[in-house]
Amino acid sequence: MTERSVAQNAELALLLEVAGTPKPGNVDRVREYDDLRFEHFLAGAVGARPGLERAAAGDAIGSAFEHAVEGMSGQSAGNTQFGALLVLSPLVAAAGEDDLSRDGVDAVVRDTTVADAASFYRAFEHVDVAVDDPPDGLEPLDVRRGSDAIPVLESRELTLFDVMESSAEVDGVAAEWASGFDRVFSAAERLRDDSGPVADRASRVFIELLAAEPDTFVVTRQDRATAEEVQRRAQAVLDGDEDVTDLAEELVDRDVNPGTTADLVAGALFVALEQGLVV
């Protein structure tokens, strides 16, 4: 069997993530939205690969991430995997350095620069990303300002890790950056220990992650009460008190999309693939 490259495993992780079903509220191979379809995620994964190749080759994380987002955006739906690429980029970089571990990826993110932060802000110019308004006093650092915020980043000497750490309490992807990707590595272990088709394992891990913490993308797009409701109902699925397919249908109908949880699953799939998960 021919061994896949690091970037190929990252692309495959994105494809396996969207193929998993059911994933309540998220696009999968069975459910989609009128303006956000399964095919868009497939195209986004393919488009992101050149940027992921840059990360694996040792290019600056911010630049590699921006190129991945730019490539991902080359389909008609806009943003499909922005958060997943923000999870994957440092993991891919660590794997490219043959140190895909909690300590290895923590070293990668802590070594990011102000230039990486600037690239991260420029990435928001390629797609529309749902984000909360910044806290009072931090309006100049609103990521929706894109390149216009770069002079403020430079004047305050904020690295990309600094930017992520400042958002860790309200954003699940940023929290991974600040914690050594703890949830991602734990989920990867569960994926490896499970059995059956990998996409089905991804669906099960998605439910477990959703039951463990409120999804911060739901908090942003709806509110915390909705995110906590979804968390409780995911636990009810695990307890056998609710049907996962019914929940999946309902959340799509309500346009409640736990996207952060999907981002973490993509990262976990990549780690598991790099650690020997067979597809």
Over the stretch 232-262, which tens digit does the pLDDT of each residue have?
999 999 999 999 999 999 999 999 999 999 9
| Mean pLDDT (the chain, rounded) | 96
- Split at pLDDT 50, 70, 90, the class of 207 is very high
pLDDT, average across residues 87-107: 98
Contact between 82 and 118 under an 8 Å Cβ cutoff? The reply is no
Q: Indicate whether 139 belongs to any domain.
A: no
Q: Indicate whether 148 belongs to any domain.
A: no
Contact between 244 and 58 under an 8 Å Cβ cutoff? The reply is no
For 180, residues 6+ apart whose C-beta sits below 8 A from its C-beta are 102, 103, 105, 106
What percent of the chain stands above pLDDT 90? 95
Q: Indicate whether 39 belongs to any domain.
A: yes
Over 90: is that where the pLDDT of 36 sits? yes
The domain of 185 spans 6-107+171-274
pLDDT, average across residues 261-275: 98
State pTM to two decimals: 0.97
Over the stretch 98-153, which tens digit does the pLDDT of each residue have?
999 999 999 999 999 999 999 999 999 999 998 888 877 778 989 999 999 999 99
Q: Indicate whether 69 belongs to any domain.
A: yes
Contact between 91 and 270 under an 8 Å Cβ cutoff? The reply is yes
Q: Indicate whether 20 belongs to any domain.
A: yes
Contact between 41 and 28 under an 8 Å Cβ cutoff? The reply is no
Whose tokens are 């307890």? That residue is 239
Q: What is the DSSP letter of 133?
A: P
For 119, residues 6+ apart whose C-beta sits below 8 A from its C-beta are 60, 62, 63, 65, 66, 160
Q: Residue 1: its pLDDT value, please?
A: 63
Over the stretch 41-65, which tens digit does the pLDDT of each residue have?
999 999 999 999 999 999 999 999 9
Q: Residue 82: its pLDDT value, please?
A: 98
Q: Residue 133: its pLDDT value, please?
A: 84
Say if residue 138 is exposed, middle or buried (CB neighbours under 10 Å; 0-12, 13-18, 19+): exposed
d(CA 94, CA 100): 5
- The domain that holds 226 is classified in CATH as 1.10.4200.10
Q: Indicate whether 208 belongs to any domain.
A: yes
Q: Indicate whether 129 belongs to any domain.
A: no
**How many structural domains is the chain composed of?**
1
Q: Indicate whether 162 belongs to any domain.
A: no
Q: Please, what is the Cα angle at 75 between 88 and 73, to 5 degrees?
A: 40
* Four-residue CA torsion sign, 178, 88, 258, 197: negative
The length of the chain is 279
